[in-house]
Amino acid sequence: MTKNDGGLVDFYKISYFCKLMVKKLFFLTLVLFSMAACKTQLEKVRTSNNPELQLSEAYKYYEAEEYAKAKSLFELVVGSYIGRPESEKIYYTYAYTSFKLGQYVSSAYYFKRFSETFPNSDLREDSDFMIAYSHYQMSPSFRLEQASTKDAIEAFQLFANTHPDSKRLGEANDFIDELRRKLEKKAFYEGRLYYDLGNYQSATISFKNLLQDYPESPDAEEVRFLIAKSSYLFAENSIASKQEERYNTTVEDAERFIRKYKQSDFSKEINSIKKDAESKLKEIRNE
């Protein structure tokens, strides 16, 4: 290849590269222009001072599932329609935009406001359900603080009391059961944590409170076993002057378990705990 041939190849390479860059810049400009046009259209509506246009576009964005845009327009018009027939649907749809955006604190608030403002609305039943369902969406893992879980239970119970003939009553009750089970798991987790940390007195109290609050718990057998075992370990680690009383409590807890569960995977260990506690009591009384 001659020197001139090499120069020609370099020229074609540079030319191809330039054409490629021009194409990319063209498409990038087109995309940016389209984005700017969309933004301009929304901004035109937002700044139009035309509530009818803003409302019409808000519903269009909502139907297109562009909830952020819809919400921005509903926020502009909701005040303009207070006291007018359109306000009911506006406020209801506005509450739903918050829910669709995952803004559950806001949706719970706005659905509640809707139910209070339009108590006789045909949409009231769904709004009351959505108050509870918004709180349900905020309910965290059972290991975390459960304020939202309790709020959801309370809201679903209020829904059930307010709408006893609702077709969604079964659904609401299912949610209540699910949420109560989460609180129950939280109580078990806390009791087990006390137990694993060697805080046997607190573990015993926590497990007994669990049974009081959730007597039909599917974990009741294990919980009663852990009550007896925590009671035993608490007695074992107590000062001498407190041991007799606490071993007596252990025997009572163990006997209560044995009476309730004739056949159990914990039977062997619970009998051993009872026997050992009784042996310790004999030693204490013979001293």
State pLDDT tens for residues 173-195.
999 999 999 999 999 999 999 99
Residue showing tokens 């009872």: 274
pLDDT-based confidence at residue 32 (cuts at 50, 70, 90): very low
Instruction: Give CA–CA dist 129/114, Å, rounded.
Output: 12
Instruction: Give CA–CA dist 236/218, Å, rounded.
Output: 29
Per-residue pLDDT reduced to its tens digit, 45-56: 788 778 899 899
**pLDDT in the model for residue 286:** 81
Helix axes 87-100, 104-117, angle to 10 degrees: 160
pLDDT over 60 at 23, yes or no? no
Instruction: Give CA–CA dist 87/247, Å, rounded.
Output: 69
pLDDT-based confidence at residue 24 (cuts at 50, 70, 90): low
Half-sphere exposure of 174 (CA within 13 A, CB side): 5
Residues with Cβ within 8 Å of 164's Cβ and at least 6 positions away in sequence, in order, are none
**pLDDT in the model for residue 26:** 52
Per-residue pLDDT reduced to its tens digit, 133-151: 999 999 999 999 999 999 9
Instruction: Give CA–CA dist 244/236, Å, rounded.
Output: 10
Quote the pTM value: 0.78
Q: Is 274 exposed, middle or buried, given 0-12, 13-18 or 19+ CB atoms closer than 10 A?
A: buried
Q: Please compute the mean of the pLDDT values over residues 251-270 and round it to a whole number.
A: 95
Instruction: Give CA–CA dist 163/166, Å, rounded.
Output: 5
Q: Please compute the mean of the pLDDT values over residues 275-282 and round it to a whole number.
A: 94
**pLDDT in the model for residue 9:** 46
